[in-house]
Structure 1
Amino acid sequence: MTPFTGGRNLMTFSLDDSGAGLRTTQRTTQFVPVASDEVTNMFKLVNFVILCGLLSPFGLISNVINIVVFVKLGFHDSMNISLMGLAVSDLVSLVSMVYISLSYNPLFVNAGLPFDPLGVQYMVGGGIHVCFARITSLITAFITFERCLCIAMPLKVKLIITPTRTKLIIFSIFAVMFVVFSPFYFVNKLTWELDADRNATILTHTFTDDRIIVETITFLIHGVIFSVFCFVLIICCTVILVVKLNSKTKWREATAAKGVNAPEGVGVKDKRVVKMVTFISSIFIVCFFPATVILLALALVPDLGYGAKYENMWFVLWSISCLTETVNSSVNILVYLKMSSKFRAVFMKTFLNREEK
């Protein structure tokens, strides 16, 4: 899509092509090329088409593998249930990212297909991607919080966070986000419209008159409240995990040096899980930092967004955000293989037909 240039009377309220940004304006808008059209199109091509186009298929395969392994491991452990939910969320998010990447490919856009690639992407790619990105955030926040309880109350956490309660929480996260995003598909629709340039009827995106109020509410819920809350909670829990784990390790080493048996606390297995969760959370913090900053900027800076004054800058930032979110959804398998002996053993037996030595 070529960014708008020049000035025009604008009254729009929309999630941008990603489904992530909210903008309501009613004024003559003079578009300011903070980033030139050439630079913006370069970011779209490199980040969306090339990098996301290469990473997304890898992420799809890796998350399918994750799901298979967790199914074989079983769901008697609450952590396996949470990580299974995370893999499902990442998988669907990456499926939508495949189409987002495809929709920015000039060959696909100019192929003369019987639908508007970006219009369909707005509904099929953008909205779904953002919904499942929020689910990923909530599940990651729950996982890090559960591990904090494990450090703080190692003898009680298994009574508080049971497998049954974990299943209920994970299902509730999916259900809540589906409810939050469902109004989006009532006010935005795919309909057949006449394309005057092509003199043909194509499938494209349209919206209803009550779109403004509906998207205002949904954006505030998922884009500001949920996103910022999850990001802050994950940072706090990750810091607590690192500090507590280091302090307990030093204390155990000190007591062992004195020849004193340390009382039972966090076991070796739980320590490994805490370290794995810390890595997953750290990756999330790095990868979702751009998205969190952009969402806050959208709420605070009226002229940043699709169809607004600094539209080009918005596309540059959003392409970076999508790339880092794709990385986050794709690399967890590397953490599992490195830090989970059970995951690694099942993976090798299932996919390589080998026993781990």
Structure 2
Amino acid sequence: MTAQTWRAHYAQKYQYSLRLFLLLNFISSSLSLVTPLFTVVRFTLPCALIVVCSGLLLLWHWKWPQSKINIPTISLLFGMLWAWHVVTKAMLLTPPHFNYLVIALLSILFIGTIAFSNNITAFTLHSLPTFLACLIMAEGEQWLRMTYCFMLPIAGITLQNIIQKRSDAFTQGLMDKLMHERNTLNDLSMLDPLTGLYNRRGLQNRLDTLLALDGDNHYVLLLDIDHFKAYNDHYGHMMGDQALIRVSAAIRNAVRSRDIVARFGGEEFMALLTNSSEETAWKTAERIRQRVYDLKIPHMFNESVATNVTISIGLTPLINDNIEQALARADGALYEAKNKGRNIILAS
């Protein structure tokens, strides 16, 4: 389950709670009209209003489930209608009518407890008007029993809400932590573990994002360390790795933050200079070449070029967002740079 589906599930619980509340009100009010507990009067206006309102709201919410209905407002409205109904009927009964008041109160509490087991505000707004009406109509009799009946579900729902909120907070925190770890792992899977530059997967991801945006005048640089196989063979792979780390850092530091640099494979690197002019691209390529040269990494087997590590660069514009053709042209320019003595920049 993702954080998004968890939030959707939480919102769905809200919708189900509302539908259950409307359904229980519809059934209870319908039974009160059809088979009343005391037949002194079958029809009351508030009871009829509850039947009509709950039925219409239920149908409307079923047809348009995404529509928002304020549960506290609806709870208070139905609570006041039930209180009106209880007062109307109690006034027509021959005293004492304590039994009716207790049964009526328990019926309303039953609706609230079932529908709003996780919403103490809605439960209170729905039940409080009837509770107060019953206390007034009882004229002080049975007040302790009625108060007990009212406070018991409030205590239970409050306790359940505390437990539920702690559980939800723990679940949300765990979900956020898992999402953060997933994003971290996803980022790491796009980075070359040795140099910290993008790998091919990360490069493709950045290219997809970049090419989806408006922009032009991008330039592709393909870079290769000169005689690196000889360096590895004679200095060892550990020294070779250190050289790769230092060269990759020099390349990254020589370009702008918005440019994309990736380890393309082995001793080969690729840089995409975004929204760049040809002059700027040439200056950037020269800055990279010079910074790698200035690292002064000893390379005695590069004597045909220098006595330290150097780099050759192929440069080409990105035309019509066709990265494959650009890479092919840059590779051709890089190959020619190698044949012309290395430690130089050629364009295609």
* Shared fold per TM-score greater than 0.5: no
Structure possessing the higher radius of gyration over alpha carbons: 2
TM tier, smaller? under 0.3
When normalised by structure 1's length, the TM-score is: 0.24
Q: Whose relative contact order is higher, 1 or 2, with alpha carbons under 8 Å and at least 6 apart? A: 1
When normalised by structure 2's length, the TM-score is: 0.25
